[in-house]
Amino acid sequence: MTNFKLIFTTALSILFIPVLVFAQIVPKCPEKGCGWPELVLLSSNLVTFLIAISIPLSAVAFAWAGFLYLTAAGNEEKINKAHSIFWKVGIGLVFVLSAWLIVWLITSTLLDPDFILLKGV
């Protein structure tokens, strides 16, 4: 079992090394200092990074739940566990994607130079 854990963690680390290397979460501040646009950009980068990690992890969790479901052989406990994993991962993925949508909407609205609050008033 320890060999399986070693192989699994090695495979996951190889999978996530490109994500971690290219994750430039903290934006560079201008000489005058950080302000509101950098804070909004930081939140956008953080949510984008979390999405880049959550999608492969949710795929692995869905695959594990599918494996449990297929190998249950009528065992109600394993079937219920697989259903529970499916629901929890699905709800988590919807939560993460909703957070991305909210942050994207706010950043695209607040950082757009052409955006004028109350146009036509």
Q: What is the pLDDT of residues 46-64, one digit of tens each?
A: 777 788 888 888 998 999 9
For 43-56, letters b (16+ CB in 10 Å) and e give ebbebebeeeebee
Residue 120 has pLDDT above 50, yes or no: no
Instruction: Report the pLDDT value the prediction gives residue 77, as an integer from 0 to 100.
Output: 93
Would you say 89 and 65 are in contact if contact means Cβ atoms under 8 Å apart? yes
pLDDT bin (cut points 50, 70, 90) of residue 18 is low
Q: Which residues contact 54 (CB under 8 A, 6 or more apart)?
A: 92, 93, 96
Query: Whole-angstrom Cα distance, residue 33 to residue 27?
Result: 12
* pTM as predicted: 0.63
HSE-CB at 18 with a 13 A cutoff on CA atoms is 4
Q: How many residues does the chain have?
A: 121
Confidence at residue 25, expressed as pLDDT on a 0 to 100 scale: 73
Q: Which residue has the higher pLDDT, 43 or 16?
A: 43
Domain boundaries, the chain: 51-112
The average confidence (pLDDT) of the chain is 79
Whether 96 shows a pLDDT value over 60: the answer reads yes
115, amino acid identity: F
